[in-house]
């Protein structure tokens, strides 16, 4: 049986800066069966210049058309006291809390929370100072690899390991950083490439529409699945429209759990559930016509029919060399005793 997949509900900035909405996202993640709820920790002025334009999908999905990216990020900031409350709430309802730090100040705050994992988001894979700071913690790390090439992943791992993190503590997420990701760019087979190249636990951060890609990723061996969660896809905000709502997230979790069971051991054996069907649906050698004692068996007087409780059709050539030792009625199972 496949090891249990870690499922991360990515709340991201889908709280729209509202603490109560963020709490509802935590509750929804818990009810869906997710293992983790994940947020984003940043200070807008520390991660972007004040005149930075929005990405295309941010322009398309936000109501404030005249604001730039820095202004949008300021609206979506969660102050540290709010993040601490969310951490405590997640702990109270027993779901793991993690957050992606986009700047060192946020990272140092998150360190105090003693999270189970430190998540490095795709845009920070080339941010040497941030990678170095996280590497010094020697904690479990999930590194998302959107927009990156193999050499960039290799360089990021080198910084993390050189800074003090054991390689065995690092997991990789294959990712495409377009929102939504077109299916023809999802490139799920890259999961296999990352596994083979880096020999690390590997998963998938899914930005496609729907849940099919995440489910397919699990069948390819993804050990971590991250998917954006929203309370309502029609809410204003950069990521809502490419997220899934609580009921669909619950469906995703259940599908993954079913797949984990169905993948099995990989050994080709007869299962307990199907053994009872063998004697009914397989065939045996039966009399095609009436057969008299002493008559030679032939393809004219023998055929194969259900049930499979008699002589296997695989032995018909042995019978063709023999004579019948008794009379048989049509459709009667053949025996040679």
CATH number of the domain at 6-263, please?
Answer: 3.20.20.70
Write a three-state SS string for the chain.
CCCCCEEEEEEECCCCCCHHHHHHHHHHHHHHCCCEEEEEECCHHHHCCCCCCCCHHHHHHCCCCCCCHHHHHHHHCCCHHHHHHHHHHHHHCCCEEEEEECCHHHHHHHHHCCCCCEEECHHHCCCHHHHHHHHCCCCCEEEECCCCCHHHHHHHHHHHHHHCCCHHHEEEEEECCCCCCCHHHHCCCHHHHHHHHHCCEEEEEECCCCCHHHHHHHHCCCCEEEEEECCCCCCCCCCHHHCECHHHHHHHHHHHHHHHHHHCCCCCCCCHHHHHHHHHHCCEEEECCCECCCCECCCCCEEEECCCCCCCHHHHHHHCCCECCCCECCCCECCCC
The pLDDT assigned to 126 comes to 98
CB of 224 closer than 8 Å to CB of 201: yes
Specify the pLDDT at position 1.
63
Burial (CB count within 10 angstroms: exposed 0-12, middle 13-18, buried 19+), residue 28: buried
- Cis? peptide before 180, omega within 30° of 0: yes
pLDDT means over runs of 10, the chain (337 residues)? 91 95 98 98 93 79 76 91 98 98 97 96 98 98 98 98 98 96 98 98 98 98 98 92 97 97 94 95 98 97 97 96 95 93
* pLDDT (0 to 100) of residue 65: 67
Task: Give the predicted TM-score (pTM) of the model.
Answer: 0.90
Domain ranges of the chain: 6-263, 272-319
Residue labelled with tokens 């991660």: 47
């Amino acid at each position: 049986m496949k090891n249990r997949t870690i499922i991360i509900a990515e709340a991201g900035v889908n709280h729209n800066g509202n603490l109560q909405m963020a709490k509802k996202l935590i509750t929804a993640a818990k009810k869906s069966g997710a293992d983790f709820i994940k947020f984003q920790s940043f200070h807008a002025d520390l991660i972007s210049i004040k005149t930075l334009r929005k990405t295309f999908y941010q322009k398309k999905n936000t109501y404030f058309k005249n604001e730039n990216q820095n202004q949008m990020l300021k609206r979506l900031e969660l102050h540290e006291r709010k993040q601490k409350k969310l951490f405590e709430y997640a702990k109270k309802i027993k779901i793991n809390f993690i957050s992606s730090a986009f700047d060192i100040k946020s990272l140092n705050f998150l360190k105090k929370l003693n999270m189970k994992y430190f998540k490095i988001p795709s845009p920070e894979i080339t941010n040497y100072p941030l990678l170095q700071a996280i590497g010094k913690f020697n904690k479990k790390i999930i590194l998302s690899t959107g927009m990156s090439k193999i050499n960039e992943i290799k360089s990021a791992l080198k910084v993390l390991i050189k800074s003090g993190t054991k390689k065995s503590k690092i997991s990789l997420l294959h990712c495409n950083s377009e929102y939504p990701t077109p299916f023809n760019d999802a490139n799920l087979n890259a999961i296999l490439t990352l596994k083979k190249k880096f020999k690390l636990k590997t998963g998938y951060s899914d930005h496609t529409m729907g849940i099919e890609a995440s489910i397919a990723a699990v069948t390819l061996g993804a050990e971590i699945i991250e998917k954006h969660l929203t309370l309502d896809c029609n809410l204003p905000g950069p990521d809502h429209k490419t997220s899934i709502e609580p009921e669909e997230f619950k469906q995703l979790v259940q599908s993954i759990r079913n797949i984990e069971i169905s993948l099995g051991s990989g050994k080709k054996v007869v299962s307990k559930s199907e053994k009872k069907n063998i004697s009914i649906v397989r065939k045996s050698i039966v009399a095609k016509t009436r057969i008299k004692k002493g008559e030679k068996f032939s393809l004219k007087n023998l055929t194969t029919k259900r049930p499979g409780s008699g002589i296997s059709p695989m032995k018909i050539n042995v019978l063709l060399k023999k004579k019948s030792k008794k009379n048989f009625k049509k459709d009667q199972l053949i025996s040679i005793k």
